[in-house]
Structure 1
Amino acid sequence: MSLEWIEYVGLTFNFLEVAWKLVRGVIKFVHKIIKTIWNKTEQDVRNKYDEVKDEGENFKIAFILRINGQNIAKRRKEVEASLISVELDKLDSLIP
């Protein structure tokens, strides 16, 4: 083997090593970009899920309060009606 051939092989290996490092660097860079986008998207999805979950809990609480309010109003009307009937009964008993 001649010296030129050895130099050629050495330069080729150096070139391949530099090219491989460049490719690895590009792959790492692209990986970081994709990972950043993925994490941001995943965090956005989690935030949206938590937001919807909170809205669902708020709706559930509001619905329960509304039902309780309706039940209280209904009971109030029943009590008022019974008081009125009791008072009318008392008045009826006073009239000879």
Structure 2
Amino acid sequence: MIIIAGHELVDADERDAFVAAFRGLVARARATDGCLHVAITADSVDPERVNVVEVWRDADALNAWRRRARGPKSARPTRVDIKRYDATAGAPLS
């Protein structure tokens, strides 16, 4: 399982439009074989922060998606802090 998680910062007055620009990309990703979860959302506390979370079945599914993802034209983030994590298992919270 591959997890992509982190955040981007954009100008507060552009954040909502930035998130909205990714709506189609998120919908397409969620419909892609091997996608377990994708979300690009406005942070509930920081008006400049956009949270990014992706969960993929495996590296092959992620790489296939990346080859055809084609992100939208949007505002450029002022900071990006997104990392890839390789997970070996997942379980329900107890």
Give the TM-score range, shorter chain: under 0.3
As a proportion of its length, which structure holds more strand? 2
Q: Larger RCO: Structure 1 or Structure 2 (Cα < 8 Å, ≥ 6 residues apart)?
A: 2
- Higher-Rg member (1/2): 1
TM-score normalised by the chain length of structure 1: 0.19
